[in-house]
Amino acid sequence: MLNTTSTLIAATPASDGASPSVGPEAVPILLEVNGTARTVRAEPRMTLAETLRGPLELTGTKIACNRGACSACTVWLDGLPVCSCMILAIEVGTRRVTTIEGLAKGDTLHPIQQAFIDHDALQCGFCTSGMVMSCAALLERNPVPNTDDVCAAISGHICRCGTYPHVIAATLAAATVHKA
């Protein structure tokens, strides 16, 4: 089973080794988020999800379980989907963070986003940000996925509204557009 966090760990060698001891009070943290360098003050214990939603005011990333079990908080680190509740902001280092707010190009939605709207692949919308990020990442690494590929890509996501069939349909349709 594909677990988004373990994907990250497998793909990214541990960064700089021993970090200096900091905290517990807030420290400045430099992050590259959606193509912009941002310096935030955050306590070292804060997760990336908390930092995005709090000091960075990027509330599109959602926290639903806060322990890596539902993938609602999925963002990209260097293009790979990860659970942002399972990594500290201070651990991110130089890796590029992409959130749901950074997926569209200006007013032009990513094909996955448009396909989600067209196929009604969202209901309450709370899992949607994470789901969109995982499906968009899938298309980046596999432009022609089949149903199994989509299922694997979203297998760590929980949607209580039951959008999975429409998410799968939307992703397959977006792949066609993406390819064209």
Partner 1 sequence: MAKAEDLRTETFPAGIASVGLGTVTRQVPADEPPPLPPNSELAVIGQSFPRPDGRAKVTGAARFTVDITLPGMLYARILRSTMPHAMVRAIDITVAARHPGVRAVLVLASADNPASATVRYIGAPVAAVVAVSISAAEEARELIRVDYQSLPFVVDMDSARAEGAPLVHDEATAPAGHPSGFPAAAGLPLNGNVRGPAIIKRGDVRAGFAQADVVVEGEYSTEVQTHCCMEPHAIVADWKADGLTVFMSTQFTTGVRHELAEQFHLPLSRVRVVVDAMGGGFGSKSSLGNYGRIAVELSRQAGAPVKLFLEREEEQMDAGNRPGTWQHLRIGAKRDGSLTAISLASYGTAGVGVGAGVGANAETLYTCPNFAGAQHDVFINAGPGCAMRGPGNTPGAFGLEQTIDELAERLNIDPLALRERIDPSAVRREERRVGAERIGWQRRHMAGADPGPVKRGLGMAQSLWGANVQINSSCEVRVMRDGAVEVLSSVQDIGTGIGTVLAQTVAEVLGLRPDQITVRIGDTEFPAGPPSYGSRTTASITPPARTAAWRVLQSLFRDAALALNTATDDLFAREGRIMVRDDPSRGLSFQEVAARLRTDCISVVASRSDDYAGFRRRMDDAALAQQDLGGVQFAEVAVDTETGKVRVERVVAVQDCGRPMNPRQIESQVHGGVLMGLSYALYENRILDQHTGRMVNPNLEEYKVAGPRETPAIDVVVIENYQGQSATDAYGIAEPANIATAPAIANAVYNAIGVRIRSLPMTPAAVLAALGKVPLRS
7: contact with partner 1 by CB under 8 A: no
**Judging by DSSP bridges, how do beta strands 36-42 and 80-83 pair with one another?**
unpaired
Number of residues that bind partner 1 (CB under 8 A): 56
Closest CA relative to residue 89, chosen from 33, 51, 134, 34? 51
Closest CB to partner 1 among 12 and 155? 155
The yes or no reply on residue 90 touching partner 1 (CB under 8 A) is no
**C-beta of residue 67 within 8 angstroms of C-beta of residue 86:** yes
Q: Identify which of residues 13 and 106 has a Cβ nearer to partner 1 in the complex.
A: 106
Query: Residue 130: which residues within 8 A CB-CB, separation 6 or more?
Result: 61, 62, 70, 71, 72, 73, 74, 157
Is the distance from CB of 33 to CB of 52 less than 8 angstroms? Answer: yes
Residue 84 engages partner 1 in binding (rule: CB under 8 A): no
Compute the distance between CA of residue 84 and CA of residue 172 in angstroms, rounded to an integer: 26
Of these, 32, 64, 88, 91, which contacts partner 1 (CB under 8 A)?
64
Q: What x/- string results for residues 123 through 152 when contact with partner 1 is judged by CB under 8 A?
A: xxxxxxx--x-----------------xx-
Residues contributing to the site for partner 1 (CB under 8 A): 1, 43, 53, 57-67, 69-70, 72, 99-101, 103-104, 109, 113-114, 116-120, 122-129, 132, 150-151, 154-168
